[in-house]
Amino acid sequence: MGLPLAISAIKSGFKVIGVDSNSARADSINNGISPVEDIANTEIQQAITTGMLFPTTDYNQIKECKTILICVPTPLTEAGKPNLSFLEVAIKSVSPFIRPGTLVIVESTIATGTTKSFIQPLIKSFSGLNEKDFLLAYSPERIDPTNKSWNLSNTPKLVSGINLESQIHAVTFYNSLGINTFQCDSVEIAETAKLLENSFRLVNISFINELSIFCNKLNIDINKVISAAATKPYGFMPFYPSIGAGGHCIPVDPIYLANAAQAVGAPSRFIELADQINQEMPDYFVGRAEEKLGSLKAKKVLVVGVSYKPNVADVRESPVEGLISRLRQKNAHVSWHDDLVKEWNGEKSVALSSQYDLVILATPHAYLDLTKLGNVPILNTRGSI
């Protein structure tokens, strides 16, 4: 989310310093190579050439910046709990360079109350400033990679501030980028709204995956069921079956909400059940594979597509990792193909061919030519009967 914002700011006349702790990524951008699908290399090259974008690993470079945006990941720990370590490091690193009047905007997903209880005290402690000396706002990112219909320019942006002055400055900044804003009455409302957005998606994705299992038992095409239901012009939104929700938002953000709800004695049973169903989907498709082959022992299985969604190379929280692991636990010989990801978990993508007992289509990228698989049976996780 950081790079699209940087390019948007540059197009609006801002000079941008992009700080990343990953030196390889900073070097790549300095060489004009974009690490994200939505930003072309030519956009990076022009920004570098004109001196409008300065990628670096040196936080000292931001000391003259009037606006600082924090766009670091907030994943889960191995135990499935909120992990604010990246956010904490980022806040501690930028705080010494925050001057009086500097606007800090956090775009990372956080649990309700985090801006006031965690971020503001950290800035105060490591900047040496009083709370009234710096501006602090929260505006959760709303970027859907490779979405051609909705982007920064036409997706309303939630904006909130720790006080009215902070909110006004944040709204002014985003409006200067041509971004429409929706002002929230408090940072807690904006924090919770972000969690609601992706909890809504997780619950509905899990529900449609559960329904797809039911339809498969009855030999009903789930996608035709969804198409029929979607003819209703009100009260219905189509979601589609898959191997499970992945990525940095949908399987993660609801857990932040569930943990916050648990902490105040109002547990979210819907989120807990949706997360359980989502975690079980790889097991379901391993079972489907066993039904097709009788046994997976020593069978050659090719998994096609390992990123969390079509046409991106992002493998964060990809449910395909669980699928491959469970297939191997059944003693299957598993290879995978994904020319967007190329290398993952110490392995490399293999070519599509007909030298397999079964192909599992996990993530259907647009470039795929499935005719290369010949007559190998295909298990389509997107709704095949």
Which residues are designated catalytic?
Answer: 249
Q: Which residues contact 55 (CB under 8 A, 6 or more apart)?
A: 18, 20, 25, 26, 27, 29, 30, 48
How many other β-carbons are positioned within 10 Å of the β-carbon of residue 216? Answer: 17
Give the C-alpha separation, 70 to 163, whole Å.
Answer: 18
Here the tokens at position 99 are 């001057």
41-49 vs 23-30: helix crossing angle, rounded to 10: 80
Q: Specify whether the CB–CB gap between 155 and 5 falls below 8 A.
A: no
DSSP annotation of 372 reads G
Give the C-alpha separation, 120 to 125, whole Å.
Answer: 9
Give the C-alpha separation, 57 to 44, whole Å.
Answer: 17
Q: Which residues contact 106 (CB under 8 A, 6 or more apart)?
A: 69, 70, 87, 115, 119, 136, 137, 138, 139
Here the tokens at position 202 are 């997780």
Here the tokens at position 158 are 């939630």
H or E element that contains 189: helix 187-217
DSSP string, 293-317: HS--TT-EEEEE--SSSTT----TT
Q: What is the CA radius of gyration of the chain?
A: 23
Give the C-alpha separation, 287 to 291, whole Å.
Answer: 6
Strand 16-19 relative to strand 347-348: parallel, antiparallel, unpaired?
unpaired
Burial 70-93 (b: 16+ CB within 10 A, else e): bbbebbbeeeeebbbeebeebbee
- Count of residues for the chain? 385
